[in-house]
Amino acid sequence: MKTMFLKSDQENAAKELDCYGYCMSVAIEHFMNGDFEKAALYHENIIRSLHELQKMKNDKMAYDKAKLIWEQIRADQYQKELLVKLRGQI
């Protein structure tokens, strides 16, 4: 799971995962007891946690994409610099 989120989001992601697990457990308990209203409230919190986790995952994906593009640009620049140096030696 750690690779799914930015380092800066790791703590918040862990909290949301804990919240998700807790809410799921309590929701099931309320469901089994026939208290569907309370179960629904906990499912709303589950949905909120899942949305937050998805936002953090999307941020990591955007970061990874930008990092890849940046690395490709740097590699292209390095290649061009090498070609200029090689041409100067010939």
- Give this prediction's pTM: 0.80
- Tell me the two tokens of residue 47: 């949905």
Report the number of distinct structural domains present in the chain.
1
Cα 89 to chain centroid distance, Å, stands at 48
Task: Flag whether pLDDT at 67 surpasses 70.
Answer: yes
Cβ-based neighbours of 4, under 8 Å, separated by 6 or more: 13, 56, 57, 60
The string of pLDDT tens digits covering residues 14-65 is: 999 999 999 999 999 999 999 999 999 999 999 999 999 999 999 999 999 9
Q: Where are the strands (E) in the chain, listed by range? A: none
Q: What are phi and psi of 88, to 5 degrees?
A: -70, -25
The CB-side HSE value for 57 (13 A sphere, CA atoms) comes to 11
State the DSSP code for 9.
Answer: G
Q: Which domain holds residue 57?
A: 2-89
Q: What pLDDT score does 86 carry?
A: 85
**90: pLDDT confidence band, cut at 50, 70 and 90?**
low
